[in-house]
Amino acid sequence: MIKVLLVDDQSIVREGLASLLQTQPDIEIVGEAENGQLAVERSLKLQPDIVLMDIRMPVMDGVAAIRALSQQAPNIKVLVLTTFDDDDYVAQAMACGAKGYLLKDTPSEELAQAIRSVNQGYTQLGPGLFEKAVTSNHLATPKTPPELAELTSREKEVLKLIATGYNNREISEQLYIAERTVKNHVNSILRRLNLRDRTQAAIFANTYLNL
């Protein structure tokens, strides 16, 4: 059985994909996510074989999520399914580790077969996307969110230490500041970046700070 995680910011799309794919005897939908950040978190928790990933989403886009998964769970394969065939998206997604790139007008049977092929280690590209995938003049690094510029240099130091697994006491010892001050910095980081907790902060840091 091929375990699949569905990632799309539109619930109606996720529901439709789930309905289509659950008719396949060898495919099991193990979870869903509405943005890239949740996709990374749930992939690490659920360990699907395939993540069916949209590209343009809030909080963290698909390219950044692919990059994070490639670093943290290289055994999980990502198949992009999106409406966008822009050169940048195709080239960046494939360069960051996606194993395939399909458009949402792909027939359901072809999508199911693509999932099987990617699970077996093959690369799948929709019609006309090969040239875009091998475009060499595009950077694979996801665009830096503007919220990152709002952090102070000290907050960036704290964020990097969070990403390495330090707790507040260890951060205070590392930076020679009070633990209460560290807590204030952490709260400020979460608020400025619109993150829920330290886990999301660590994922964000590993994705955008090139740790």
Q: For 19-63, what is each residue's pLDDT tens digit?
A: 999 999 999 999 999 999 999 999 999 999 999 999 989 888 998
Report how far residue 204's alpha carbon sits from residue 197's, in angstroms, rounded to the nearest whole number: 11
Instruction: Please determine, for residue 127, whether its predicted confidence score (pLDDT) is greater than 80.
Output: no
- Percent of the chain at pLDDT above 90? 54
| Predicted TM-score of the model (pTM) | 0.67
CB atoms near residue 81 (< 10 Å):
24
The distance between the two most distant Cα atoms of the chain, rounded to a whole number of Å, is 59
pLDDT at res. 136 = 40
Q: Is the pLDDT of residue 131 over 60?
A: no
pLDDT at 189: 93
Give Cα separations from 112 to 25, 117, 148, 197 (angstroms): 10, 9, 38, 35
